[in-house]
Structure 1
Amino acid sequence: MAEAAAPRPYKIPQSVLVVIYTTALDILLIRRADTSADYWQSVTGSKDTEEESFVDTAVREVLEETGIDARAPSCVLQDWELENVYEIYPIWQHRYAPGITLNTEHVFGLRVPADTPVRLSPREHTDWIWLPWQKAADRCFSPSNAEACLLLPRFI
Structure 2
Amino acid sequence: MSLPYKIPESVLVVIHTAEREVLLIERTDKEGFWQSVTGSKDTPDEALSETARREVEEETGIVLASQAVESADQERRTVPASHLLDWQLSNIYEIYPVWRHRYAPGVTRNTEHVFGLLVPRDIPVVLAPREHTRFQWLPYRAAADQCFSPSNAEAILQLPRYMRAG
**Superposition TM-score tier, normalisation by shorter sequence:** over 0.9
* Alignment-derived partner of residue 61 in structure 1: 55
* Alignment-derived partner of residue 8 in structure 2: 13
1:74–1:112 CA contact under 8 A, matched in 2? no
- In 2: Cα distance, 1:95 partner to 1:47 partner: 13
C-alpha deviation, 1:32, in angstroms: 0.4
Match for 1:23: what amino acid?
A
Query: Which residue, 72, 95, 109 being the options, matches 1:88?
Result: 95
C-alpha deviation, 1:29, in angstroms: 0.1
Query: Which residue, 46, 54, 57 being the options, matches 1:52?
Result: 46
1:59–1:70 CA contact under 8 A, matched in 2? yes
C-alpha deviation, 1:34, in angstroms: 1.5
Match for 2:156: what amino acid?
C
- Percent identity, aligned pairs only? 64
- In 2: Cα distance, 1:143 partner to 1:25 partner: 19
- In 2: Cα distance, 1:67 partner to 1:95 partner: 24
TM-score normalised according to structure 1 size: 0.92
Query: Which residue, 117, 121, 126 being the options, matches 2:124?
Result: 117
* Alignment-derived partner of residue 99 in structure 1: 106
Give 3-state SS (helix, strand or coil) of 1:134's partner.
Answer: helix
C-alpha deviation, 1:74, in angstroms: 8.1
Give 3-state SS (helix, strand or coil) of 1:23's partner.
Answer: coil
- In 1: Cα distance, 2:4 partner to 2:61 partner: 25
- In 2: Cα distance, 1:74 partner to 1:107 partner: 16
- In 1: Cα distance, 2:37 partner to 2:48 partner: 13
Match for 1:49: what amino acid?
T
- In 1: Cα distance, 2:151 partner to 2:45 partner: 24
- Give the number of aligned pairs: 149
Give 3-state SS (helix, strand or coil) of 1:138's partner.
Answer: helix
Match for 1:105: what amino acid?
E
- In 2: Cα distance, 1:75 partner to 1:117 partner: 19
- In 2: Cα distance, 1:46 partner to 1:103 partner: 9
Give 3-state SS (helix, strand or coil) of 1:70's partner.
Answer: strand
Compute the RMSD of aligned alpha carbons: 1.5
List runs of 5+ in structure 2 lacking aligned partners.
66-78
